[in-house]
Chains A and B, each alone.
Chain A
Amino acid sequence: MKKEIIIGFLCFLIATSICVLYRSVNKYTTEGQVSVQSVAENRLKDRVLAEQENYEKLSQELQNAQSKLENLRRDSANNSDEAKKLEKELSELNRLLGYTDVKGKGIIIKLEDAEASDENNKDSLVHDLDLLDIVNELFNAGAEAISINGQRILANTAINCNGNVVRINNEKVGAPFVINAIGLPNGLYGAMTRPDGYLDLMASGKIKIQIDKVENDELVVPKYTGTIQHQYMEVAE
């Protein structure tokens, strides 16, 4: 019958749009973008989201451009021995500076705020100074490359507090923290788990700590994606 077909089609439309809307709203809330539903706030939120997307796109573009540059450099280096030498030196220096992804064996430390964390109990949260101390201990134990949530720790990296997140290399990084450190796994593990070590102290504040050894040379520490600028520094003769 005609009317049933039309009612059915309209129900089909409603069910489709409910499903799409449900999934969209689910997506916003699970991604932590929106919790309050108010049409008046939408535009601002949308702009923030758009900016985020734009930022991600631009940093992707930057990475593409960098890898392109790398390829071009390699290609041009193939022409002469001199250039080859320079290219080798350049890549070696980049590796030392932290401009290349590196991998090797090492350990992964996962730090999570205590379940019953509150702002008044300082020991239940992971702070910037905790991360700083851990990085310090890792370097002291012979770590060769460290990253925290994908942010490479360089010679001039600053780790500081930024409200409820931590700022590393001027990028906001939030809990849970995953610290990748390349070095001798047993040595690093031993240094991090020693009695009265820093992680031992943190564990007393109910912070969840998990340390895994990676023995198969596959632990990746990503490169630093920003630029290092030296304006005032000169070589002293």
Chain B
Amino acid sequence: MVYITIIICSALGILLGLNLPTISYTYSGYLAIAIIAALDSVFGGLTSILKKNFDIRIFVSGFFGNAILAMLLTYLGERLNVDIYLAAVIVFVGRMFTNLSIIRRIYIEKWSKKYDEKHNAKQE
């Protein structure tokens, strides 16, 4: 159910994105970092849905909070001439992989459980 919503909404988003004007080069870095932060939040949200401790307030605040913080860090890094955005990328992408592995584990456990039950039923 969640996945269907995600796919439909992403398709709609792509349709809208194709018709929007492009952005200037200066801001493309900020948008990129915001996208990575937001993607991280979505993966986190999926994990928590599967773990059944999903809280919509935490999810939404994380989504926007992370994106804004990442953009602010990028801005600060630009002022200080340090590529701080790299730190944000590493943290977010690392967390994405962690969340992905949790999602993977949950599904594999689910499926192997089902398989075992079927197998046992046959044997009996």
Q: Does B23 contact A (CB under 8 A)?
A: yes
**How near does chain A come to B43, taking the closest CB pair, in angstroms?**
11
CB–CB A6/B60 < 8 A: yes
Total residue contacts A-B, CB cutoff 8 A: 122
Q: Does B6 contact A (CB under 8 A)?
A: yes
CB–CB A42/B38 < 8 A: no
With A13-B38, A46-B24 in contact, do A7 and B83 touch (Cβ < 8 Å)? no
Classify the secondary structure of A's interface with B. helix
Interface size on B, residues (CB 8 A): 43
CB–CB B9/A27 < 8 A: no
Q: Does B28 contact A (CB under 8 A)?
A: yes
CB–CB A45/B17 < 8 A: no
Interface size on A, residues (CB 8 A): 38
User: What's the Cα separation between A1 and B56 when bound, in Å?
Assistant: 12
CB–CB A45/B25 < 8 A: yes
Closest to B6 in A: A11
CB–CB A34/B25 < 8 A: yes
CB–CB B12/A12 < 8 A: yes
Q: Does B11 contact A (CB under 8 A)?
A: yes
User: What's the Cα separation between A21 and B27 when bound, in Å?
Assistant: 10
Classify the secondary structure of B's interface with A. helix
CB–CB A10/B42 < 8 A: yes
**How near does chain A come to B7, taking the closest CB pair, in angstroms?**
8
Segment among B74-82, B101-109, B113-121 that sits at the interface with chain A: B74-82
User: What's the Cα separation between A52 and B74 when bound, in Å?
Assistant: 27
Q: Does B92 contact A (CB under 8 A)?
A: no
Closest to A43 in B: B26
**How near does chain A come to B64, taking the closest CB pair, in angstroms?**
9
Q: Which residues does chain B contribute within 8 Å of A24, judged by CB atoms? A: 22-25, 28
CB–CB B13/A21 < 8 A: no
Q: Does A97 contact B (CB under 8 A)?
A: no
CB–CB B17/A19 < 8 A: yes
CB–CB A2/B14 < 8 A: no
**How near does chain B come to A53, taking the closest CB pair, in angstroms?**
11
A residues 1-39 touching B (CB-CB < 8 Å): 1-25, 27-28, 33-34, 37-39
User: What's the Cα separation between A8 and B25 when bound, in Å?
Assistant: 28
**How near does chain B come to A49, taking the closest CB pair, in angstroms?**
7
| Listed A/B pairs (7) with beta-carbon separation below 8 Å | A3-B59, A7-B6, A7-B59, A16-B17, A21-B28, A24-B24, A38-B83
The 5 A-B pairs with the shortest beta carbon distances in the complex, nearest first, are A19-B17, A15-B13, A8-B9, A24-B22, A15-B10
Q: A10-B41, A19-B17 are in contact. List 8 more A-B contacts (CB 8 A).
A: A11-B9, A11-B10, A14-B35, A14-B38, A15-B9, A19-B13, A24-B28, A39-B85
